[in-house]
Amino acid sequence: MTLPTVAVVITAVAVAALQDLAPSAAVSPLGVRITSPLGRTGIPGKVRIVAQVQSSPGAALSAVQFFVDGVLLGEDRDGPPFAAEWEDVNPFEPRNIAVAVADHNGNVARDTVALRPLEVVEAAEVMSVLLDASVLDRAGRSVGNLGAGDFKVSEDGAPQTLEVVRKETVATTFALLIDASQSMSRRMDFVKEAARRLGGHLAPNDRMLVVPFSKQLQPVTGPTNDLVTVDQAISAIGPRGGTAILDGLIELAPHFQNIEGRRAIVLVTDGYDEDSKRSFEEALDAVKAARATVYVVGIGGSAGISLKGERLLRRLAAESGGRAFLPSREEELDAVHGLLAADIHNRYLLTYTPSNQQVDGSWRTVTVATSDMSHTVRTRAGYFAPKPPPVRPTLEFTVSQAVGGMPDLSADDLLVVEDGTEQKIETFQEAVTPVSIVLALDSSGSMKKAAEPARMAARRFVEALKPEDKLATILFADRPELAHELSIMREVTLAAIDKYVANGGTALYDALSSSLSRLREVPGRRVVVVVTDGRDEDNPGTGPGSVSTFESVLADLKHVEAVVYAIGLGANVDRKVLERLADISGGEAYFPEVVSGLEEPYRRIVEHLRRRWVVGYTSTNPRRDGAWRRVEIRAKSPETLVKSVGGYFAPGK
């Protein structure tokens, strides 16, 4: 998406603030830091950009200016907290936020945050496995007349049902990995000629990468099917430096990332690896992840192929489903290339759907055999199952100072701990997206004397909410009754409050259960505001109290992840129940003694709804097991109190 072009007149101070600071600015008494957002939560909508400014005492500041992708978003002259609201309509595109400020002494300061686009992560499934296999007889010749009934495949020892078996020539990309180290210097002309001969065996749809290596990969040519280009690349190879075969395989593997068809690595070397810093297992894992087959052409260079080198080369080939050719005389190379090309091109395609459909990223060992015990089947040793998508929770929380007030906050002020393990905060911002609120009002008989002032206080609360916040109303006595569904039409809510009549018992738990049920499928921020003057109880005259239990309400609360604000009016409320609901959900509980005191808790709820934060991270626990994860959001300062929902349910499998 392209932003519209906006013409903006910027003062000289603002222009200077956007320019690179002069070296002297390193000691400037003026500084600015963007504290929110530091990333994205994944929900399109309004974002509050917040900046903290540090300046000398008494310094007069210009307006703090906020920019998105170089376009002036707005200014803040009102003092801290300095903020501007921005509509992040497409979180899948990168954005750059900048803040600039200057003082009367000519000092300027700026800060920027790059918002990376969100990744689109889809749940993966192990749908089907494709194998290509070569079958050789006792003499090492390709066997080409086998059918589906001749093959047996097992995965981790469990037999699998083959769905497709056919002999087919598939386009292949050859990566010609040529040892160009100093140890090959005496045979380099011979090596080049051997490499050229392989080019003559390319099929029309095949392509080739020419990849010389010593201690590291040298410039890569291809993929190409132009033999002149291949020849020129081979001719340009000059021997120098040490030999790092394993490191070379690891560096080569990413070059196959966007290549379709068969993938073959033809390693031409004397097998003398003296400089690799990575292990054989790491190299083999890289080859497996690239779904490549390694063919080795071993050439006795100045040091010859040692027994250790020969074992390494043969193991590389065998465990990737390829072959190792170690010709003792140069004239054998023509036959080697013919066998190599035949092995690559004349292979069987086998497919099956694994019986193990777990998406766990594990290695699955695959074995293939034929009904003829004299046959040798070469194929890759297995595959990696898809990794599960990362678990990325987003949690809402509120903070307060031990001695009143709402503190300024940045991600640096927080610690997030999931099941005892500290997490790395990736996104942090003020929660300014609209809220879905259910207002549950106690209309039991005990509220008769307080009915009129309770109506007035509820009306003022409703009128103080942001216009974009949705609101539903539930009136509860012997049972909860929905006055109206979630709506931004305030007149509907006000009409429901005006019809409020007090009569009956107090089905508090049923009212909470009904409120949470209304919010269960609602996206975004969810809040329950419950007002009561009693405790869950029967009305002896009309019927029983709640069908729901307090334990079932707590279970619903975890699943819905709503914040509960509880107002308990008078001396007969169940303080422990209301306090626990608020504490577990990250809300607050208030206990005015008289009905005239309802105004203050309503005011504080509105303030809290407007001053909440959202923090996000990638969990260090990748399991998608549907389990409850306990999360503590802590402030580093003991003076700052944090309340949150206390955790989340991991996604299911």
pLDDT score for 181? 87
Identify the weakest region by mean pLDDT among 231-235, 344-348, 363-367, 455-459.
344-348
Crossing angle between the packed helical segments 575-585 and 550-560, to the nearest 10 degrees: 20
pLDDT score for 641? 85
pLDDT > 90? residue 157: yes
Q: What is the mean pLDDT of residues 549-567?
A: 92
Question: Predicted confidence band at 551 (pLDDT cuts at 50, 70, 90)?
Answer: very high
Q: State whether 30 and 96 are in the same domain.
A: yes
pLDDT > 50? residue 151: yes
Question: Predicted confidence band at 534 (pLDDT cuts at 50, 70, 90)?
Answer: confident
Q: Which residue has the higher pLDDT, 503 or 203?
A: 503
Residue whose structure tokens are 């160009």:
180
Q: Tell me the C-alpha distance between 653 and 89, whole Å.
A: 30
Using alpha carbons, list the distances in angstroms from residue 558 to 405, 413, 417, 553: 28, 26, 18, 9
Q: Which residue has the higher pLDDT, 402 or 172?
A: 172
Residue 103's identity, in one-letter code, is D
Contacting residues for 630 by C-beta, under 8 A, at least 6 apart:
418, 419, 646, 647
Q: Determine, yes or no, domain membership for 282.
A: yes
Q: How many domains does the chain have?
A: 5
Tell me, rounded to whole angstroms, the distance of Cα 404 from its chain centroid: 37
pLDDT > 60? residue 281: yes
Q: State whether 491 and 566 are in the same domain.
A: yes
Specify the DSSP class assigned to residue 466: -
Report the range out of 35-49, 159-173, 239-253 with the highest average pLDDT.
239-253
Q: What is the mean pLDDT of residues 31-44?
A: 76
pTM exceeding 0.85: no
Q: State whether 135 and 204 are in the same domain.
A: no
Q: State whether 596 and 461 are in the same domain.
A: yes
Residue whose structure tokens are 């070569």:
134
Q: Determine, yes or no, domain membership for 5.
A: no
Question: Predicted confidence band at 16 (pLDDT cuts at 50, 70, 90)?
Answer: very low
Q: Determine, yes or no, domain membership for 6.
A: no
Question: Predicted confidence band at 475 (pLDDT cuts at 50, 70, 90)?
Answer: very high
Q: Which phi and psi angles does 638 have, rounded to 5°?
A: -70, -15
Range of the domain at 244: 172-345
Q: HSE (CB half, 13 Å, CA atoms) of 413?
A: 18
Question: Predicted confidence band at 592 (pLDDT cuts at 50, 70, 90)?
Answer: very high
pLDDT > 90? residue 82: no
Q: State whether 556 and 590 are in the same domain.
A: yes
Q: What is the CATH number of the domain that holds 479?
A: 3.40.50.410
| Mean of pLDDT over the chain | 83
Q: State whether 92 and 135 are in the same domain.
A: no
Q: What is the mean pLDDT of residues 286-312?
A: 75
Q: What is the mean pLDDT of residues 434-439?
A: 94
Q: State whether 544 and 636 are in the same domain.
A: no
**DSSP code string of 325-361:** E--SSGGGHHHHHHHHHHHHHSEEEEEE--S----S-
Q: Are 320 and 286 spatial neighbours (Cβ–Cβ below 8 Å)?
A: no
Pair type for strands 525-532 and 563-568: parallel
pLDDT score for 98? 96
pLDDT score for 74? 93
Q: State whether 475 and 567 are in the same domain.
A: yes
Residue 541's identity, in one-letter code, is G
Q: State whether 566 and 455 are in the same domain.
A: yes
Q: Determine, yes or no, domain membership for 293.
A: yes
pLDDT score for 378? 84
The answer to whether the bond into 354 is cis (omega within 30° of 0) is no
C-alpha torsion angle, residues 572, 576, 578, 583 (rounded to 10): 160
Q: State whether 518 and 445 are in the same domain.
A: yes
C-alpha torsion angle, residues 185, 242, 289, 653 (rounded to 10): 180
Q: Determine, yes or no, domain membership for 121.
A: no
Q: What is the mean pLDDT of residues 239-251?
A: 91
> Which long-range contacts does 54-58 make (Cβ < 8 Å, 24+ apart)?
54/30, 55/29, 55/30, 55/31, 55/103, 56/29, 56/30, 56/103, 56/105
Q: Determine, yes or no, domain membership for 124.
A: no
Q: Determine, yes or no, domain membership for 2.
A: no
pLDDT score for 152? 94
- Work out the percent of the chain whose per-residue pLDDT is above 70: 86
Q: State whether 479 and 564 are in the same domain.
A: yes
pLDDT > 50? residue 379: yes
Q: What is the mean pLDDT of residues 475-501?
A: 93
Q: Determine, yes or no, domain membership for 120.
A: no
pLDDT score for 337? 65
Q: Tell me the C-alpha distance between 587 and 67, whole Å.
A: 34
Q: What is the CATH number of the domain that holds 67?
A: 2.60.40.10
pLDDT > 70? residue 334: no
605-639 exposure pattern, b = at least 16 Cβ within 10 A, e = fewer? bbebbbbbbbbbbebeeeebeeeebebebebeeee
Q: Tell me the C-alpha distance between 228 and 205, whole Å.
A: 16
Q: State whether 245 and 323 are in the same domain.
A: yes
